[in-house]
Structure 1
Amino acid sequence: MLVLAKNANALLMFLLELGVLFSVGYWGFTLSAGWAVKLLVGIGGPALFVAAWALFGAGGGKNATYPLTGLARAALEILWFGGGALALYASGLAASAAVFYGLFIVNAVLRIVWNEV
C-alpha cells in the first residue's frame, strides 16, 4: 500500500510540474497588453521555467545539468512552484493558487517523510 501512495505522490509531483508551466503560460495570455506581449510572455514564461528546471531541478536533481541538493534544492522548489501559484493568483485565480500551493506542500512533506528528496 505504501508503494501505491509513493507512486501517487510521484504522479502528483509530475502533475504539479506541468501545472507550473500551464499556470505561467495562462498568466502570460491574461495580461492586459497587446497580443505580441501576450504571445511573448505566454510562451516565453514557461520556456524560462523549463530552462531553470532543466538546469537545476530535473529528475529530482538526478537529470539536471547543475543539480541542487539540500537547502538550495528546497529554495528552488519553493520558488519554482511558488512562481506557478503566483501566476495563478496574478491571473485572478486566488483559490486555485491556494489549492495548487497546498498540494505542493503536501507533496513536499510526503517526499521528506519518505526520504525521497
Structure 2
Amino acid sequence: MLDIAKNVNAALMFFLELGVLISVGYWGFTLSPNWAIKLLVGLGGPALFVAAWALFGAGGGTNAVFPLTGLARAALEILWFGGGAVALYASGLVTPAVVFYALFILNAVLRLVWKQV
C-alpha cells in the first residue's frame, strides 16, 4: 500500500511540474492586451522555467546539468513551484494559487518522509 502512495506522490510531483509551466504560460497570456507581449511572455516565461529546471532540477537532480542538493535544492524547489503559485495569483486565480502551493508543500513533506528525491 505504501508503494502505491509513493507512486501517487511521484505522479503528483510530475503534475506539479507541468502545473508550473501552465501557470506561468497562463499568466503571460493574461499580462497585457498587446499580442506581442502575450506571445513573448506567455511562451518565453515557461521557456525560462524549463531552462532553469533542466539546468538545476531535472530528474530530482539526476538528469540536471548542474544538479543541486540539500538546501540549494530546497531553495530551487521553493522558488520554482512558488513561481507557479505566484503566476496563478498574479493572474487573479487566488484559490488555485493557494491550492497549488499547498499541494507542493504536501508533496515535498511526503518526499522527505519517504526519502524520495
TM-score normalised by length of structure 1: 0.99
* Structure 2 counterpart of 1:25, one-letter code: G
Q: Structure 1 residue 72 and structure 2 residue 72: aligned?
A: yes
Instruction: Give the CA RMSD over aligned residues.
Output: 0.6
Distance 1:31 1:53 in 2: 23
- Offset, 1:45: 0.2
Match of 1:37 in 2: 37
Distance 1:8 1:19 in 2: 16
Secondary structure of residue in 1 paired with 2:116:
coil
Distance 1:100 1:31 in 2: 20
Secondary structure of residue in 1 paired with 2:85:
helix
* Structure 1 counterpart of 2:100, one-letter code: F
TM-score normalised by length of structure 2: 0.99
Match of 1:7 in 2: 7
Give 5+ residue unaligned stretches, structure 1: none
Secondary structure of residue in 2 paired with 1:36:
helix
The count of aligned residue pairs is 117
Deviates more, 1:26-35 or 1:98-107: 26-35
Distance 1:21 1:79 in 2: 13
- Offset, 1:116: 1.2
- Offset, 1:18: 0.1
**Moved runs in structure 1, 4+ residues, more than 2 A?**
none
Match of 1:63 in 2: 63
Distance 1:33 1:61 in 2: 38
Distance 2:36 2:93 in 1: 23
Give 5+ residue unaligned stretches, structure 2: none
